[in-house]
Structure 1
Amino acid sequence: MKLHLLVLLAALAVSACDEMSDQPRYDEYAPSTLFPDGKSMQSPPAGTMARGDPEPLTSLRERPPMSLALLKRGQERFGIYCTPCHDAAGTGHGTVPSRGFPNPPSFHIQRLVDAPSRYFVDVITHGHGVMYSYADRVVPADRWAITAYIRALQLSANTPVAALSRAERTRLREASP
């Protein structure tokens, strides 16, 4: 008796899930009242790209020249995508690891200081260890910008204060809490 009741309930549950197969939609070239131009097929928004589009992949292969604009873009993107795990200084003590996720390695360990810049771009692209790929979030040109900023973090951590100019030391003292 219980088995019959269970089979009946399962059949009812499956038959109730058919609402999704009959949804209203437009065919590709059908007229549409939804959009102002009357077409159902719309052009993609500006800035979007198809998977495998060769143009962005070219920017992934070619390292851009170092510039202040590249570093600033890298700092911005690092703050968005990397800081939650790696923290602002790149030491691997971000808010995500503080809540139980494994700590990522510090960018200041010798292995990563000695690593080629391409390594960081590849890790952003493909992921490594428990870090998943950011290829769908970070455009190829920004991967190089983040890498440039990581290199700046590595240099700044090992630069003695005495190597800074008087103006830079003053700014550093003013910025310190």
Structure 2
Amino acid sequence: MSTGKVARFAILVALLATLGCRQKMANQPRYDPLETSDFFADGMSARPRVAGTVARGELSTDPFFDTGKINNALADGYPFAVTREVIDRGHQRYDIYCSQCHGRIGDGKGMIPARGYRQPPSFHTQAVRTATTGHIFDVMTNGFGAMPPYGTMIPTRDRWAIVAY
């Protein structure tokens, strides 16, 4: 092979390598995260999840585990065995998510009601003590009265652990 052919081949390889490094994908119209949008009617570029979306690996086939209901009625009991580890996990999650309103001992005298917000019911009243586990799980998931829903914030198994605690 002559020196000229080698030089032309080297130039061709260098040219192809240079073309592969262009910034076309970086230089395109796009939205930055949470940037306002003129395209969508609500003005948001970040799109909400489609109702009923299930993340990969998160599909459950146990309606009692997911809703606290059996045949659309609030059920009693637990969808899994309650162990010491489950109760300890429930205690930890209760302290994180619930004690601010419901108090450390469940009397409804947490720091949020102490600052003037509506006081939640005490867990020591007869009405709450006789409530089914499914009812407590449902209230935690969907909210009730002034309590917001925690279904999207607390994983399902942790909500059951809190009920067990």
Q: TM-score, normalised by structure 1?
A: 0.54
Do the aligned partners of residues 108 and 24 (structure 1) sit closer, same or farther apart at CA in structure 2, a change above 3 Å counting? closer
The aligned residue for residue 107 of structure 2 is 91
Aligned runs of 1:7-18 on 2, under 5 Å?
none
What is the CA–CA distance in structure 1 between the aligned matches of 2:84 and 2:117, rounded to whole Å? 33
Q: Secondary structure at the match of 1:91?
A: coil
Q: Tell me if 1:79 matches 2:85.
A: no
Which residue is equivalent to 2:66? 60
Q: Deviations over 1:77-135 (max 9, x none)?
A: 00000000001100000000111110000001000001111111000111000001001
1:50 to 34, 40, 55: 55
Q: 2: CA distance between counterparts of 1:56 and 1:83?
A: 31
What amino acid sits opposite 1:114 in the alignment?
T
CA distance in 2, matches of 1:82, 1:126: 14
Q: Report the Cα distance in structure 2 between the residues aligned to 1:145 and 1:76, rounded to whole angstroms.
A: 9
Q: Distance in 2 between matches of 1:130 and 1:108?
A: 19
Runs of 4 or more consecutive aligned structure 1 residues displaced over 3 Å after TM superposition: 22-25, 56-59
User: Partner residue of 2:12?
Assistant: none
Alignment of 1:24-173 (within 5 A): 50=55, 53-55=58-60, 59-60=65-66, 63-149=79-165
- Say if 1:74 and 1:56 are closer, same or farther in 2 by CA, change over 3 A: farther
Q: CA deviation at 1:65?
A: 1.0
In structure 2, how many angstroms separate the alpha carbons of the residues matched to 1:130 and 1:57? Answer: 29
In structure 2, what residue type is equivalent to 1:138? I
Contact 2:60–2:66 (Cα < 8 Å) also in 1: no
Whether contact under 8 Å (1:86, 1:106) holds in the other structure is yes
Gaps of 5+ in 1: 1-21, 26-48, 150-177
Q: Which 10-residue stretch deviates more, 139-148 or 55-64?
A: 55-64
Distance in 2, matches of 1:50 and 1:78, equals 25
Mapped partners of 2:55, 2:137: distance in 1: 20
State the AA in 1 paired with 2:55: A
- Aligned-partner Cα distance in 2 for 1:116–1:139: 20
Structure with the largest fraction of helix:
1
Q: What percentage of aligned pairs have identical amino acids?
A: 36
SS at match of 1:71: helix
- Which one-letter code corresponds to 1:122 in the other structure? D
